[in-house]
Amino acid sequence: MNVMSLITSEAPRRFYRRWMDCLVPVILGCLISDEALGAQRMRLGTLVPKGSSYYNHLKTMESAWKRSPGGGVSISIYPDGRLGGEAEMVRRMRGRQLQVGLLTVAGLAEIEPRVTGLQQAPMIFRSIDEVEHVMQELGKDLEGMLEKKGFKVLGWTHAGWVHFFATDPIQTIDEVRARKLFCWAGSPEVVKIYQNNGFKPVPLETKDIVPGLQTGMINCVPMPPMAANFSQVDTRAPYMLKVNWGALTGGLVMTMEAWNGLSKDQQQPILRAAKEAAMAIQKDGLREAEESIQAMQKRGLKVIEPSSSQLDEWHLETAKAYPEIREMVDPSVFDRVDAILKAYRK
């Protein structure tokens, strides 16, 4: 064998074999490591602002999920509505682009309209205790409804009261009726009920609230103080009417496909961490709401308190819409909420 044939045949073959002996385990390791360890990746979408206590509790949940059995579950959190409004997030979940969402009832209603029984009747709740009691009593029923639609509820939560933010002073319900009122896009039934009761609703996505105030498309927005503070809605709508229009309720949900993809050993730690996050969001949300009002007052927000006679009028007028809301929500769900509240108030 001459030198040239040795160079062109045997040596390259030996080099190639050694190189492949080293490389193949690396390639196989990259391909199967996640499956072998049971690690999974998920994406979570939400409207909550980055830096808020809500977001921080989701980050705590993220850490807990990573420590779950079988290699853990890794989640990427997309706050601030980066993946669109809640209707868009639900669409992405159905399209397997998102696996988890922290959604308000408006978003959950895109999955199961009957869930709106927690929120759509304005001023039906007299206290946060009532809100939490109804959530606890009705939760299992709603979870079953959502599960049939392909979504697992990991935890219920709320962000406290929704108040009205307006570009000029408002105090009575007729003054709010005269305003161009923001309401969530994607709910034509809600728009119709507003119109039937003398309001002027303007359906928009949440991301369009501030631009809508800037252009005059809307001049009154019902929203929780924390959201108003983070989005600086108060700089465009510097008057807040402290009427408890409703509680902003919602939940952490995962697609059933993603949930069923978890091992039995993973499901309980994942569920426990999610419920802890939901409860922490609920607890800190009430405190953060008051802190947000104080922060906005330092920027010039004027808080308007209705008189007791004006508040009576608010309750009287909103109750007129309940029969129509009852049919929209689902009579059985509405009646259940009503029965739970009556029993609780005895």
Whether residue 237 is contained in a domain is answered as: yes
pLDDT digits (tens, 9 = 90+) for 228-272: 999 999 999 999 999 999 999 999 999 999 999 999 999 999 999
Whether residue 1 is contained in a domain is answered as: no
> What is the domain-level CATH number for residue 313?
3.40.190.170
pLDDT at position 15: 38
Q: Which range among 108-112, 280-284, 313-317 has the greatest average pLDDT? A: 313-317
Count of structural domains, the chain: 1
What's the predicted TM-score (pTM) here?
0.82
> How far is it, in rounded angstroms, from Cα 146 to Cα 255?
10
Q: Across all residues in the chain, what is the average pLDDT? A: 88
Whether residue 76 is contained in a domain is answered as: yes
pLDDT digits (tens, 9 = 90+) for 23-73: 444 433 444 333 444 458 999 999 998 988 999 999 999 999 999 999 999
Whether residue 8 is contained in a domain is answered as: no
Whether residue 182 is contained in a domain is answered as: yes
Whether residue 312 is contained in a domain is answered as: yes
pLDDT confidence band for 119 (50 / 70 / 90): confident
**Can you give the residue range of the structural domain that contains 329?**
37-345
pLDDT digits (tens, 9 = 90+) for 209-224: 999 999 999 999 999 9
177 by Cβ neighbours in 10 Å (0-12 / 13-18 / 19+) ranks as middle
pLDDT at position 39: 59
Average pLDDT over residues 133-161: 95
Using the predicted structure, report yes or no on whether residue 14 has a pLDDT greater than 70: no
Using the predicted structure, report yes or no on whether residue 177 has a pLDDT greater than 60: yes
pLDDT at position 328: 86
pLDDT digits (tens, 9 = 90+) for 302-321: 999 999 999 999 999 999 99
pLDDT at position 152: 98
pLDDT at position 13: 42
Whether residue 32 is contained in a domain is answered as: no
